[in-house]
Amino acid sequence: FRFVLVYIFLFHSCTHTLMGLATYITGERAFSATIMLDDITVGYYNSETKIYVARGNDTNEDDVIDPNYLRSVSENLLVHFIERSHHLRPDNTEIESKFSWLKGSTFNELCFFDGNFTYQVFSNYTQPEIKHNLEISKLRHEKLYYPACIKTLNNYLKKRETQLNRKVKPRVKLIQKANSDSGGFRVSCLATGFYPRHINLTLFRDEQLVSDHEITGGDLLPNADGTYQMRKSLEISAADKHKYTCSVTHLSLDNKLDLTLGNDELKSVILSVLIVLALVLVFGIGAIIYKCRKRQGGRTKTEINDN
């Protein structure tokens, strides 16, 4: 049996976040870490190779992370993982129960903010061990992790400023589809292709806010191109005659965007009719021209034969 231990660094500066997710498998004596700036993966590190690989960068970022800081943090973090793995190694009779208890559980949490520490333990540490670990963690965070990560965060904010500040407008649709299971309809508001990730998407019934317990969905999901999408849906009866509106606010939009059910369908029908009429007109004119030329060609040929 091997245990997977996860260590999360989370540092804030104003409205931006630097997060490191480090994973260690007992017995490997090496860990890997993914570094994220807000929701952008900026780098990957493996303590075995001791190589930091930048991700998604279009500028030179060799000076973003101090190699001395990186080496020190890596060494301390590896020691931390090894110590925890030794503490968690169970007896043969307790393997199954301890493994089940650990899966999906938090080992401990430490928060360092404005010079103050808070600490929570979720494992079977004894009080002396808790006190000892707390003092070590305080020292590591105050003297090593915190200054290193804040400096790295500020460096990344300068390098990735354009990428962080980009704004992409959402594409919004309000759709009504028949629900064969209920015999009614499902009204869905979909906003996709937007960045940054923060968006406010709400549904209204006759200009009154639809309560949350009636709505399904609402999860923020990533798109393959680095943008995001969100969908909120509402089940209504076949006899429902209310007017439904989807309202969207986002940093990329100058004003609130409202879509009322029926507008999109009407526009689609009108556009389809216009396209059909245009095609009929084009083909009709083409057919008339073809017949006229054919008729004219026939007359010319007759006149030549007569002569």
Q: What residue ranges define each of the domains in the chain, with the CATH number in brackets?
A: 4-164 (3.30.500), 171-261 (2.60.40.10)
Query: What confidence score (pLDDT) does residue 10 get?
Result: 66
If DSSP codes are grouped into helix, strand and coil, which group holds residue 112?
A: strand
Query: What confidence score (pLDDT) does residue 202 get?
Result: 95
What pTM did the predictor assign?
A: 0.61
Q: Rounded to an integer, what distance in angstroms lies between the CA atom of residue 189 and that of residue 215?
A: 11
* In the block, residue with structure tokens 């279009």: 58
- Asked whether the beta carbons of 33 and 18 are under 8 A apart, the reply is no
User: Which secondary structure element, helix H or strand E, spans residue 108, and what is its range?
Assistant: strand 108-113
Q: Per residue in 109-130, pLDDT tens?
A: 666 666 666 666 555 555 666 6
Task: Give me the tens of pLDDT residue by residue for the chain, a chain 307 residues long.
Answer: 455 555 666 666 657 888 888 888 877 788 899 998 888 899 999 988 888 888 887 778 888 888 888 888 888 888 877 776 665 544 433 333 333 333 344 455 666 666 666 666 555 555 666 667 677 777 777 788 888 888 888 899 889 988 888 899 999 999 998 887 778 899 999 999 999 999 999 999 998 999 999 999 999 999 988 899 999 999 999 888 899 999 999 999 999 999 998 644 434 434 554 676 777 787 778 777 767 776 666 655 555 555 5
Q: Per residue in 3-57, pLDDT tens?
A: 555 566 666 665 788 888 888 887 778 889 999 888 889 999 998 888 888 888 7
The DSSP result for 245-279, as a single string, is EEEEEETT-SS-EEEETTHHHHHHHHHHHHHHHHH
Q: Rounded to an integer, what distance in angstroms lies between the CA atom of residue 145 and that of residue 19?
A: 12
Q: In the structure encoding, which two tokens stand for residue 151, read together?
A: 């400096």
